Amino acid sequence: MFAAIGIVILLVMVFGGFAITGGALGPVMEAIPHEMLIILGAAAGALVTGNNMHGIKAFFGGFAKVIKGPRHTKADHIDAIVLTTRLMKLLRAEGPVALESHVTEPENSALFGEFPRILANKPLTALICDTLTLIVVSSGTLETHAVEEVMDNAMKTHFHELHEPQHALQNLADALPALGIVAAVLGVVKTMGSIDKPPPVLGGMIGSALVGTFMGVLLAYGIVGPMASRLKQVIEADEQIFHAVKQVLIASLHGWPQPLVVESARSGLGHDFRPGLSELLDALRAR
């Protein structure tokens, strides 16, 4: 939402300021479609050249993330901590056999069914279930540091994939000024072919060519670059729930008391998603 508002402010201030200072918007608006055809066409070609189909889909999905913001709310982070805590409590109280059906078929688990938004996050559910499945099949003989290393590796791979659209968007922002220059150079070439025209005509053609440079810089530093930065923020916010789940599992395997387990997970969350300790303990008691 804020991204859309920011773009509107940007366009109003740039073009409004130009008009207020006496600039004629007509020639600029007339040149923009042709210059944008070259700039965006070249950008699209570069995007296709540098990515596979999965990367292209993820790239456009990144725009939706920028508009929507982080996937999970504070309530979802509470649910993730509560769910993982209850699974570890079940493991300690009733053993691996009681836990097995929940982690091998989470979609059929009554426990996971209480947290549909967590279940809908397939990578997060896989991290929980795969880690606990390892514990189940090993009958609790795994060393905690080994479990932590496996989780870190799985999270690193998933986070790398999450950040691919952000890197592609940033690369596009870096390339747009140069693509704007490409459009401007072509405009100058066109102008030089009409060097015998009257000065007012040549002035209009040169002005149209410069619009290419203007649009490349504006898109790069005013729109695409900030969107890449915002996408990075959103992705990093989406990563927090994974770290919370990991902390609950590892702290529980270390044998920490439950209040300390949930506090270690809670304290690692950003302020936008961090519940109060009393709020989190109340949620555990309510379940």
Q: Has residue 271 been placed in a domain?
A: yes
Q: What pLDDT is attached to residue 243?
A: 96
Q: What pLDDT is attached to residue 140?
A: 63
Q: In which element (H, E) is residue 183 found?
A: helix 144-192
For residue 267, give its domain range: 27-287
Q: Has residue 1 been placed in a domain?
A: no
Would you state the structure tokens that stand for residue 63, as one six-digit string?
């725009």
Q: Has residue 7 been placed in a domain?
A: no
Q: Give the chain's domain count.
A: 1
Q: Has residue 139 been placed in a domain?
A: yes
Residue ranges of the chain with pLDDT lower than 50? none
Look at the pTM and tell me if it is higher than 0.75: yes
Q: Has residue 32 been placed in a domain?
A: yes
Q: What pLDDT is attached to residue 287?
A: 67
Would you state the structure tokens that stand for residue 187, as one six-digit string?
């405009």
* pLDDT tens digits, 63-74: 889 989 999 999
Q: Has residue 79 been placed in a domain?
A: yes
Would you state the structure tokens that stand for residue 184, as one six-digit string?
């401007």
Q: Has residue 17 been placed in a domain?
A: no
* pLDDT tens digits, 129-181: 999 999 888 876 778 899 999 999 999 999 999 999 999 999 999 999 999 99
Q: Has residue 255 been placed in a domain?
A: yes
Smallest CA-to-CA distance from 67 within 231, 233, 225, 219 is with 231
CA 224 to mean position of chain CA atoms: 14
Burial of residue 276 (CB within 10 Å: 0-12, 13-18, 19+) is exposed
Q: What pLDDT is attached to residue 86?
A: 93
Give the E-state strand segments of the chain in sequence order. Answer: none
